[in-house]
Structure 1
């Protein structure tokens, strides 16, 4: 039995958090601060229909573009 949308969204958010942490070379606390300040989990939720059908690498690039529009650079 597959995951429901809520569970799938949670797993997507966790995967992207871990990918961002590794890609940006941040500690858990540093990455959590970025995710909270820029409401990245809400952004992932808003983009869920798009994000869940493409790969995590493409998703993290979209998140980085989102952060750039908010004035944040990695």
Structure 2
């Protein structure tokens, strides 16, 4: 499997996980991720993220979004 395919799988998995953890619809998560360039962030940090668990990556994404002005409060 190519790196690009693996990155896409990770992005998709994290969208679903964020939806479940943050109690928001998938459509809203996608919109928030696009607005804050989380998908690009996942691609850029894939080398590190693929070694961590999804929960740790999701926490990192929350911090990234907060720095971009979008805070997720659960």
Q: How many residue pairs are counted as aligned between the two chains?
A: 72
TM-score calculated relative to the size of structure 2: 0.91
**Superposed, which structure 2 residues align to 1:30-49 within 5 Å?**
30-49=28-47
Runs (5+) with no aligned partner, structure 1: none
Q: Tell me which of 3, 6, 9 is aligned to 1:8.
A: 6
Q: Tell me which of 48, 51, 74 is aligned to 1:50.
A: 48
SS at match of 1:47: helix
For 2:27 and 2:2, how far apart are their aligned partners in 1?
29
For 2:71 and 2:65, how far apart are their aligned partners in 1?
7
SS at match of 1:71: coil
SS at match of 2:71: coil
TM-score calculated relative to the size of structure 1: 0.91
How big is the alpha-carbon RMSD for the aligned residues of Structure 1 and Structure 2? 0.9
For 1:51 and 1:44, how far apart are their aligned partners in 2?
8
- The higher radius of gyration belongs to 1
Moved over 3 A (4+): none
